[in-house]
Amino acid sequence: MRDKTLLELSRALAAKEFSCLELTQAYLKQIETRNPILNAFISVTKELALETASAADTRRAKGEALPLLGIPISHKDILCTQGVKTTCGSKILHNFIAPYSATVVKRFEQAGMILLGKTNLDEFAMGSSNENSFYGPVKNPWDMERVPGGSSGGSAVAVAARMTPAATGTDTGGSIRQPAALTNTTGLKPTYGRVSRFGLVAFASSLDQAGPITATAEDAALLMNVMAGFDEKDSTSVDIPVPDYTQDLSKALKGKVIGIPKIFFKDLEPTMALRIEAVISAYQKMGAVVKDIDLPNVSFSVPVYYVIAPAECSSNLARYDGVRFGYRAKAPKDLYDLYTRTRAEGFGPEVKRRIMIGTYVLSSGYYDAYYLKAQKVRQLIRQDFQKAFETVDIILGPTTPTPAFKLGDKIQDPISMYLSDIYTIAVNLAGLPAISIPAGFIGHLPVGVQMIANYFKEDRLLNFAHQYQQVTDWHKKRPKETS
């Protein structure tokens, strides 16, 4: 039963093939056997899961028909869960229990889904390999010596190794799409403002967005039906109607125009390019038309991001001072000692690096040269996409420059680590929605293809993704369970 999609699980539960409790037990058992090796979960909420699963069985028996009622889910450990630890992958929040749940978490509760646990991540979602977690790296089930991608690596691996049928992730510069690509899962980063950020612990507030990581595009649509929508508690969430994301999945793609940005292929390894070209031909067979496009300012995305994201993070992370919550340094001499030692002992090296870059680019004398300049270029990047979407329906390219790299390979070299996101970061700077779906293998390692759509066109992305998954089996491939 663990291999079923959400839709199949929903049907099976309705047909009483098995109970919510049996289903939940099956995933908990898989977590017990696989998690000690893969380290995808920071917390497993076993008792709570069993309790809510039994309650879901009672509700179903009484005739409640919510489609996801009694189906398990796992949340990235940066979404606040009332009564359950939220660590953000950091020592500084190792004992933090949020007094309220994120809106996203609440919505899944209201949909009747069962929380299995909180998944591992790079500290405060800063990273591309999951090696920045205080709780240790996550392993890629396709190759235990390789990274699963980050920062939502725990969620992606939990789905890939069938420890959960679906999970949430967050994406500030690629953290849903990049791990999805490296683990053969489907990951959707929604339009900025489409999903509430209330209770999502902030990294870079103008870029962060939560979204689904699933086995199929159809499953992502089902989760989006729950996640998306206005929230008065998040002033950046947008008050426009939410479509039924499953409605357009089967729409024909004949005549649709796919834009191919030349810049995404310029330095792409030939083996990667081959995979992406195969995807393009599959769409052409379905009747889509291909067009080359220019995104002239997108090459500045990584440097622009590494000014703006650290600037926002330095401000957002100022609250961790040992006074209100989380880790507190022992026996401080005075208030200054409390602040500095709490932060020195509580944050890991990558977070410290970002805070230092952030405070630097925001300091007087440098603000105009770095922060303001970066904001201006960000605007140009946004305009590039707007221009492109005047003539194309979707933009397609690789999600990552390479398949999963080896643990330890890039951790000493931040620039090469930052370049893991060269194809994903522009999307966050522009606030656009994008999806990564399985696109085949290079050797034994999966690769992903990324599609980007105009604002609030998640339904179009899901339509394209679903159509590809109707004619290919990549997304059905599962890693072997070796130790």
The site for ligand GLN (CB under 6 A) is made up of 125-128, 151, 171-175, 203, 309, 421
Q: How far is the CB of 84 from ligand GLN (least distance, A)?
A: 21
DSSP string of 51-99, one letter each residue: HHHHHHHHHHHTT---TTTT-EEEEETTB-BTTBB--TT-GGGTT-B-S
Residue 298 beta carbon to ligand GLN: minimum distance, rounded to whole angstroms? 16
SS3 44: strand
Which one, 113 or 126, has the nearer CB to ligand GLN? 126
- Say if residues 176 and 169 touch (Cβ distance below 8 Å): yes
- 3-state SS assignment for residue 291: strand
Give me the least distance between CB of 367 and ligand GLN, in Å please: 21
Contacts of 225 (CB under 8 A, 6+ apart): 242, 244, 245, 246
Q: Which of 76, 139, 256, 410 is catalytic?
A: 76
Place of tokens 């496009």: 293
> Least distance (Å) from ligand GLN to the CB of residue 238?
20
- Estimate to the nearest angstrom the gap between the alpha carbon of 380 and the chain centroid: 25
151 is catalytic: yes
Nearer to ligand GLN, 137 or 173 (CB): 173
Q: Measured between alpha carbons, how far is residue 389 from residues 149, 264, 398, 404 in Å?
A: 29, 17, 18, 31
| Whether residue 76 lies in the annotated active site | yes
CB of 368 to ligand GLN, least distance (A): 24
With respect to ligand GLN, which residue has the nearer C-beta, 23 or 432?
432
Structure tokens at 309: 């994201």
List 151, 196, 301, 420, catalytic entry: 151
Q: Minimum Å distance from CB 208 to ligand GLN?
A: 7
Report in angstroms how near the CB of residue 194 gets to ligand GLN at its nearest. Answer: 16
**Known active-site residue 406:** no
Looking at the Cβ atoms of 312 and 393, the one nearer to ligand GLN is: 312
For the chain, how big is the Rg over CA atoms in Å? 21
First-last CA distance in the chain: 22
| Nearer CB in complex with ligand GLN: 27/423 | 423
> Peptide bond before 74: cis, by omega within 30 degrees of 0?
no
Which C-beta is closer to ligand GLN: that of 35 or that of 172? Answer: 172
Q: Which of 90, 175, 237, 301 is catalytic?
A: 175
**At CA 398, angle to CA 298 and CA 172, rounded to 5?**
60
- Closer to ligand GLN at the Cβ: 171 or 393? 171
Nearest to 351 by CA among 375, 318, 327, 379: 318
Alpha helices (H) in 289-424, listed in sequence order: 301-316, 335-346, 349-362, 373-388, 414-418
> What is the DSSP code string of 191-216?
PTTTB--TTB--SSTTT--EEEEESS
- Give min distance, CB of 151 to ligand GLN, in A: 4
Rounded-to-integer distance, Cα 355 and Cα 325, Å: 19
Shorter beta-carbon distance to ligand GLN: residue 169 or 259:
169
Positions marked catalytic: 76, 151, 175
